[in-house]
Amino acid sequence: MSELGETSGGTPLSRRTLLGAGASLGIGALLASCAEESNSEVRSLAPPIDARAARLPYRQDDPRWGSDLMWDRNLVLRAATELDGLPKADAAALIREYDDGNNISNEGCQLTCIAMVMRLFDPQANPAWTPATLNDAAHEGFEYTLSGLSLTTLYPDIAADMTEGHIQLLAKEEYPAAVKPWPLVTVSDSPLVRAYLSLSPRERSGVLVMLKTGTYDDTVASHYVLLDPDSRESASVADALILDPAMPLDAKGPWRLSDSAKLITGDPEIQNGWKQGHITPTQIGGAWAFARWDAKAGRPFAASFVQAWASELAR
């Protein structure tokens, strides 16, 4: 009989091999498309993306996945008190309590944004990347579990883990909101975001940018959205067009940072967090750029973006 973590032949198993880490979801189609690109001369532009054709934005409260649990609060509190020895009051502060649970509808804005990134960069995945499939894969791969257990690195890039590096975090900037001495930052102040918006939609097709709004603390009053990849507005805009997981399913017309702020601060606890931190409707706390990579060439489809970002940083 072999021991846990070893094959019958005695060869150690890696955690990723044992668990699969969810990478089988859609990876075949993505690898095939990347192989086709790699056989030709390396191009600076990735294939075009179309958020509307992909039926985005995904909404975190979509009935197809909104009730799927990300964490089970009772299990998290048990782990914190029984295993880590925290007092009950301290454990209770770790995770917000909702009447219907810590599900995608309540907690899944960042998950939903990353699912949109993966959907846009890997539209042929079967099954399609959605908040539900990404949440399931994250549980299976121990990115996070219902009890809060995580066996990933300290700063995991879940997109890279799920696609074996073919979609990954390229760059990030953080501006911790309401944390001294950090100044208030809007998209028109952010070098990374200004660089992205300065490009045409075709030039930015290899990069997608996720924004954080609200408080630096993620427990209650923070939120995540994607910059609209189809936007043709200038880099000087403060109230940017976005793809928002919190956008109502029946909402019409353009949706901006201020629309998102008005909606989510309808929650009294979120409103209180924003008020205490003096958070403004168009303020951002960070920007994360994800890129599609050409594995054979060993580089991302991001030349135009990186050049624009360098120019912004040099201003």
DSSP string, 115-145: HHHHHHH-TT-SSPP-HHHHHHHHHHTTSS-
pLDDT of res. 10: 53
Burial class (CB in 10 A: 0-12, 13-18, 19+), 295: middle
pLDDT of res. 14: 60
Measured between alpha carbons, how far is 294 from 286 in angstroms, rounded to an integer? 26
Helices (H) and strands (E) in the chain, counts: 12, 8
pLDDT of res. 154: 78
pTM: 0.89
pLDDT of res. 19: 55
By three-state DSSP, how is residue 251 classified? coil
Q: Are 237 and 194 in contact (CB under 8 A)?
A: no
pLDDT of res. 252: 84
Measured between alpha carbons, how far is 210 from 227 in angstroms, rounded to an integer? 6
pLDDT of res. 253: 84
Of 248, 228, 247, the C-alpha closest to 237 is 228
Q: Strand locations in the chain, DSSP E? A: 69-71, 102-103, 167-174, 207-214, 222-227, 242-243, 286-294, 299-300
pLDDT of res. 15: 58
pLDDT of res. 16: 60
Q: How many other C-beta atoms lie within 10 A of the C-beta of residue 74? A: 12
> Which structure tokens are listed for 244?
């928002």
Q: What is the pLDDT along the chain (315 residues), one digit of tens a residue?
A: 333 444 445 555 565 665 554 444 455 455 445 545 444 434 568 889 999 889 999 999 999 999 999 999 999 999 999 999 999 999 999 999 999 999 999 999 999 999 999 999 999 899 999 999 999 999 999 999 999 999 887 777 999 999 989 999 999 999 999 899 999 999 999 999 999 999 999 999 999 999 999 999 999 999 999 999 999 999 999 999 999 999 999 998 899 999 999 999 999 999 999 999 999 999 999 999 999 998 888 999 999 999 999 999 999
